[in-house]
Chain A
Amino acid sequence: MSKVVLESVGKTFENNFEVLREISVTFDQESVNFIIGRSGAGKTTLIKILLGLTPPTKGRVLFNEIDITALSRTEIARYRRSVGIVLQDPSLIPNRTIFDNVAMPLWVRGLRSKDIRHRVDRCLNVVGLDAVRDFYPVRLSTGEQQRVSIARAIAHRPKLLVADEPTGNMDNQLSLEVRSLFDMFPELGTTVIVATHEPELTEHMRHVFELKDGTLLRVARQVREADSPAPSP
């Protein structure tokens, strides 16, 4: 179970700019959800609120009925261990191998070495990069680096995967490849929330929301029947 509910969430910055107002939405469990909107619409602010990086000015964010806006720092850290994060910048550590980069969330959770090896290899296999496990990030293309960051985001089998502009630096072909990876995750029991300013990325997707003037509206779409199940990482 990994349902995410936003109840009347609002965010006003110190300069009285109200970026989010009264957002109420439910992201169903094991669904892929896209939030679209132009730059500056508040997508990143919403993602930050979902990750517990910034508190909303009003409202609540419920993750499986727990209000994450009321959690302590330690509890927020623990909450994040059940969340996968993909950012526009892959945020790989340059002086660590691809294997180490993907293993990082597993170190945080204190898994056994053999479990770490097993999971990292499976995740790299899912994103099609098992041949580069001992490379350093600098040897990979931008698209490959982003796929590594997706492997890192799913290595610990998160219940929620949050992505902020994950295809921001990619061409259309690469973007669609990355999106196809997201399509796999509901099969793994993961709810996916992707913020993007590229509407074409959301074609045929069932759960699409547009962030406009601080409010979130569901966008009606012609839905494509999907998708092949993915191997479990």
Chain B
Amino acid sequence: MNEQTFLKQMDPESRGSNLRIRAHSLLESVQHLSRHALVTLFVWLLIGVALSLPVGFWLVQHNIHLLAEQLHDDTGFTVYFVPGSSKETIEDVQAYVAQSTVVQSVEFTSAEQALEEFQLVTGYDQELVALDNPLPASLSVVIQQDTPTTEVESLLDSLRSYAIVDGIDFDTEWIRNLNAIHQVVSTLMWIVGALFGFGVVFVTFASVRIAIESRFRELRVLSLLGASDRYLRRPFIYCGILYGFGGGVVATAIVYGALFVIRDPLNLLVQNFGGTIHIVSLDYFSASVEIGIGTFLGYLGALFVSIWEIQKRRTFESIH
């Protein structure tokens, strides 16, 4: 008889009993959390707050991204020509712009048309007619969607090299600023996410450590009764998972609550920037991911501390 066969014979009832052992451990964990309901609630709140911040940052950067994308649809610039430029040279420039792959449309406005529009808008009829037309001819250029900034910059540089081009008014300077803000928020999201993720692991670590200490005597007895390290760790790991799961649910509630409160002011802000999009909230998938991340971080914290503590407390395998 080899050793493995012997050991299986010694412990025949362990066969097929894994599910019952896990179910029992889960029940133990649920009972532990319910016996310490106040502590559990506090841990859930801590984890919830810690998780809601990076999720909040994610929502902000996601909404900025969507806003920038929507506004980018109308991105374009206006090329102003030196007054008195010949029609032929202006047509050359217009043809050059039109053949660019990044350009969606080009519209020429002559100096006369510009003056008419100005008069129409301002009502300064007599005064301007009395003067020479001070307004330049111009080209209004609309850029294709999703054009990389570098290609637009390249086209602008080419246009600036024309002597008849007096200036270029890039309409989307502030969108670039918005994109820069998006980058900053995105970076912040990762930093805050990493820090608060560590925080969640730490909170779970500390909470589960207290749970282990409170059951030290029981662990000692169970170890003497033949409980494996895995068996000893399991209820605490389930505790960590439940802490993380509950924290994820609380974080989702916090984010939904916060969005509910700031939805209207944010919509107004977006409209002021010319946007028409609605604020994107957490959908079911994102909420599930958030809860899943919380659960995973809870699991990590509990796994670390249970391995560490149970290994450290090997001395509990003592009969005195």
CB-CB nearest in chain B for A105: B225
Interface of A is mostly: mixed
Question: B229 to chain A: which residues have CB within 8 Å?
Answer: 73-74, 77
Q: Pick 19 A–B contacts, CB within 8 A, sort by A.
A: A51-B319, A53-B317, A73-B228, A74-B229, A78-B7, A79-B7, A80-B224, A83-B226, A87-B320, A89-B320, A104-B225, A105-B225, A108-B21, A108-B226, A108-B227, A109-B13, A110-B14, A110-B21, A111-B13
Q: How far is the CA of A164 from the CA of B224 in the complex (A)?
A: 13
Instruction: Say if the beta carbon of B262 comes within 8 Å of chain A.
Output: no
Residue among A96, A104, A112 with most chain B CB within 10 A = A104
Contact A44 B319 (CB under 8 A): yes
Q: What 1/0 mask marks residues of chain B from 216 to 234 whose CB sits below 8 Å from any chain A CB?
A: 0110111111111101000
Contact B231 A108 (CB under 8 A): yes
Whether A66 is near chain B, meaning CB under 8 Å from some CB there, is yes
Chain B residue nearest to A111 (CB atoms) is B13
> For the complex, what is the distance from the CA of A188 to the CA of B274, rounded to whole Å?
86
Closest to B320 in A: A44
- The one of A53, A81, A89, A96 in contact with B14, judged by C-beta atoms closer than 8 angstroms, is A81
Query: How many B residues touch A, CB cutoff 8 Å?
Result: 31
A140 located at the interface, meaning its Cβ lies under 8 Å from any Cβ of chain B in the complex: no
Map CB proximity to B onto A62-106 as digits: 1 under 8 Å, 0 otherwise.
001110000101110111111101011101011010000000110
Let me know if B101 is at the binding interface, CB within 8 A: no
Given contacts A51-B319, A93-B218, A107-B24, contact A85 B224 (CB under 8 A): yes
B20 at the interface (CB under 8 A from A): yes
Q: Is B6 an interface residue (CB 8 A)?
A: yes
Known: A107-B24, A110-B14, A110-B18. A75 touches B222 (CB 8 A): no
Q: Write out the residue numbers on chain A whose beta carbons fall within 8 Å of the beta carbon of B228.
A: 73-74, 77-78
Q: Is the interface of B mostly helix, strand, loop or mixed?
A: helix
| Complex: chain B residue closest to A100, CB-CB | B218
Which residues of the partner chain B approach A65 to less than 8 Å between Cβ atoms?
1, 6
CB B121 to nearest CB in A, in angstroms, measures: 83
Q: Is A48's CB within 8 Å of the partner chain B?
A: yes
Q: Is the CB of A51 within 8 A of B224?
A: yes
Are A111 and B226 neighbours in the complex by a CB distance under 8 Å?
A: no
Please tell me if the beta carbons of B18 and A91 are within 8 angstroms of each other in the complex.
no
Check if B10 is an interface residue, CB within 8 A of chain A: yes
A78:B319 contact, CB within 8 angstroms = no
Query: What residue of chain A has the Cβ atom nearest to residue B14's Cβ?
Result: A109
Residue from A47, A78, A93 whose CB has the most chain B CB atoms within 10 Å: A78
Measured in the bound complex, the distance between the Cα atoms of B320 and A178 in whole Å is 20
Q: Judging by beta carbons under 8 Å apart, are A78 and B224 in contact?
A: no
Name 16 extra pairs, CB < 8 A, besides A71-B3, A104-B225, A112-B20.
Answer: A66-B3, A73-B229, A74-B228, A75-B3, A77-B223, A77-B227, A78-B11, A81-B10, A82-B11, A91-B220, A93-B218, A107-B21, A108-B227, A110-B17, A110-B21, A156-B13
Cβ contact of A48, chosen from B10, B13, B217, B319, cutoff 8 A: B319
The answer to whether A85 and B319 have CB atoms under 8 Å apart is yes
Q: Which residues of B (4-60) have their CB < 8 Å from a CB of A?
A: 6-7, 10-11, 13-14, 17-21, 24
- Does any Cβ of B come within 8 Å of A11's Cβ? no
What residues of A have a CB within 8 angstroms of the CB of B86 in the complex?
A: none
User: A88 — nearest CB in chain B belongs to which residue?
Assistant: B320
* Contacts A77-B228, A78-B226, A81-B226 given; does A164 touch B319 at CB 8 Å: yes
In the complex, chain B residues whose CB is within 8 Å of the CB of A206:
none
A104→B223 CA distance, assembly (Å): 11
A121 to chain B, nearest CB (A): 18
0/1 per residue, A13-46, Cβ < 8 Å to B?
A: 0000000000000000000000000000000100
For window 156-185 of B, CB contacts with A under 8 Å fall at none
Evaluate whether A108 and B10 lie within 8 angstroms (CB atoms) in the complex, with A53-B318, A53-B319 already known.
Answer: no
Contact B227 A64 (CB under 8 A): no
Cα–Cα, bound, A82→B12 (Å): 10
Contacting residues, chain A, for B225 (C-beta < 8 A)? 80-81, 85, 104-105, 108, 152, 156
Contacts of B221 in A (CB 8 A): 91, 93, 104
Chain B residue with Cβ nearest A70: B3
Contact flag A79-B220 (CB < 8 Å), given A48-B319, A74-B228, A105-B225: no
Are B10 and A110 touching (Cβ within 8 A)?
Answer: no
Contact (Cβ within 8 A) A108 B319: no
- Which of B7, B226, B320 has the most C-beta atoms of chain A within 10 angstroms of its own C-beta? B226
Q: Select B226's contact among A80, A91, A96, A164, beta carbons within 8 Å.
A: A80
Interface 1/0 per residue, A156-172 and B, CB below 8 Å: 10010000100000000
